[in-house]
Structure 1
Amino acid sequence: MKSFKTLMALIAFAFATTHVQAQDGWETHTAKDGITTVKSRVQKTKDFTRIDYTVTSKGNFTLKEADEFFKNSANHKKFWENCEKSEEFKKISENDWYTYLYFNYSWPMSDVDCAQHFTRTVTSEKVVFKATTTPNAIEDRGVDRSHLFDVIITVTPIDDASSNITLEVSFGSTVSGPKWMINAWLPDGPKEIMERIIGELE
């Protein structure tokens, strides 16, 4: 998610990638360093635009470090774009809680908030955080509420000092505009989100 101004700027500055487009609408972009890959799809519906993307990469951090970072809801604003607030508002257990996100956008886009139900699964081989959008889990706070912002974060160890990480996101945007404008955010937007995550973990 980027502001309108940033989306327009991305038209002029392309992400250096190899690019493959599948018949099912998914596009795959691989960075020249061969480390980060972004797979994305944009679908226009009657009421909103659905954007799905998967980012895979790796970095110098452990499974434990990733687990400690992602289970703290306050850290999520550090990597989501335009996210002004991220906080846990209801805790069920160490593996089950609710997170509130507030996104502060520039005109002409309106601010948006989101409530997510998180589950956490930890084994010796991987850690998985799954967030499902739950718009009615918290009271109305006077801004547009997202009805689709589902996230899966999977981290698997490579060795004692490094790990693979995958970020899968599905979100719905009610912002009106041509499909090419949204496509202009891809693949740089997801790639930069992953870069911020790895930057926090390393």
Structure 2
Amino acid sequence: MRKNWIAIIVLLGLIGWGVYDYMTKADVNPITAGESATEDDSVPIGLKVGNRAPDFTLYNLDGNEVKLSDYRGKTVLLNFWASWCPPCRLEMPHMEKFYAKYADKDAVVLAVNMTHLEEGKEHVKSFLKDLGLTFPHALDETGRITDQYQVIAYPTTYVLNAKGVITQRFQGAIDYNIMKEAYSKAVK
């Protein structure tokens, strides 16, 4: 009986800590966390629908810089994923199909690998190659961007309009039809 009470107390403590951790991260203002408002200052930077997504700079597998703001003027599906994540694997062919069909309509998929949760970059490289993924990717090797974007479910996708404003957020895998609908909403 005593072991059950200890387990319950530990579980409640973990849940409490998780809620506290999530709530304190939600209060972080990206401008004071090192980001700057470079465009329309009337649109606040943040993670809610209607906010301009916080800018970041990461690197891809080739060592080239990938900056979110370089995609301004395009609708962006900003996808956070990992190679070991089964829903991510299911979603990626849909992402590739969307990218292939909508690239000429100023849309892009930017896939941010949560490299800090991987066993190594070689897993990322083989995942991209095995699935024939051609859209831009970036490596979050420290987890800083994953934390900044409050990614708690894998995959997570933010949809940004051409001004970099968040129009939708999805936790969990989405398919091609949902991507098409999200694109239509973002370009309105």
Q: Which has the higher helix share?
A: 2
TM-score with structure 1 setting the length: 0.28
TM-score by length of 2: 0.30
Larger strand percent? 1
Larger radius of gyration: 2
